[in-house]
Amino acid sequence: MSLDIVLASGSESRRRLLESAGVEAAAVRPNVDEDAMKAGLRAEGVSVRDQAMRLAELKSAKVSQRQPGLVIGGDQMLALGDEAFDKPKDLDGARDHLRKLSGKAHTLETAIVVCENGQPVWRHLARPRLTMRSLSEEFIEDYVDKVGEPLLSTVGAYQLEGLGAQLFNKIEGDYFSILGLPLLPLLDYLRIRGVLKT
């Protein structure tokens, strides 16, 4: 009997990554209050990587309680030292993100949890490290003007698959994890579970 695959996310980029890799997954929004959860975790002093993992598990478990099959929950947070970055609220916020990240290395804490029958059965944390070159104010203004609103859908206010490639002088980690889904380890797990052919 084949297991259904469910993506506990409204993220179009995660769904497209799975689809491009030949994985058919129904997308179901988990409807969790991420802002309240993050605020609580940060008040407790939880590390950025653990915040990402706890949010990924919460999303997956919530959808898995009502959907059969393997439910994939993911979350990505940007850590600049101990400071967590959320998606910018507006283009001024995107400019602020880029100014703070300019000339520095940061980590994308990219967590994924698979739940079945409401319980976690597999988890993975990828930690790509990206070093942003020093950006001039003129470059930041031009970049934000050219890319616009799509910058608000990423924690770092960049899109590596487009003009965002110009922001960096060093990237350590895999491309899929930077886009928000550690795809290769997930595909390995789906093969172990018999969902994909070996």
pLDDT in tens, 28-49: 999 999 999 999 999 999 999 9
Please answer whether residues 118 and 65 qualify as being in contact, where contact means their C-beta atoms are separated by less than 8 angstroms. Answer: yes
Q: Looking at the domain assignment, is residue 198 inside a domain?
A: no
Number of domains forming the structure of the chain: 1
Residue found under tokens 């959860």: 37
Q: Looking at the domain assignment, is residue 47 inside a domain?
A: yes
> pLDDT tens for residues 155-193?
999 988 899 999 999 999 999 999 999 999 999 999 999
CATH number assigned to the domain comprising residue 180? 3.90.950.10
Query: Any idea which of 1-15, 81-95, 129-143, 174-188 has the lowest mean pLDDT?
Result: 1-15
pLDDT tier for residue 13 given thresholds of 50, 70 and 90: confident
Q: Is the pTM above the cut of 0.85?
A: yes
The question of whether 75 is a catalytic residue gets the answer yes
Q: Looking at the domain assignment, is residue 152 inside a domain?
A: yes
Strands 105-116 and 70-80, bridge-based pairing: antiparallel
Q: Looking at the domain assignment, is residue 82 inside a domain?
A: yes
Full residue range of the structural domain in which residue 41 is found:
5-193
Q: Looking at the domain assignment, is residue 158 inside a domain?
A: yes
Pick the catalytic residue: 33, 50, 75, 86?
75
Q: Looking at the domain assignment, is residue 20 inside a domain?
A: yes
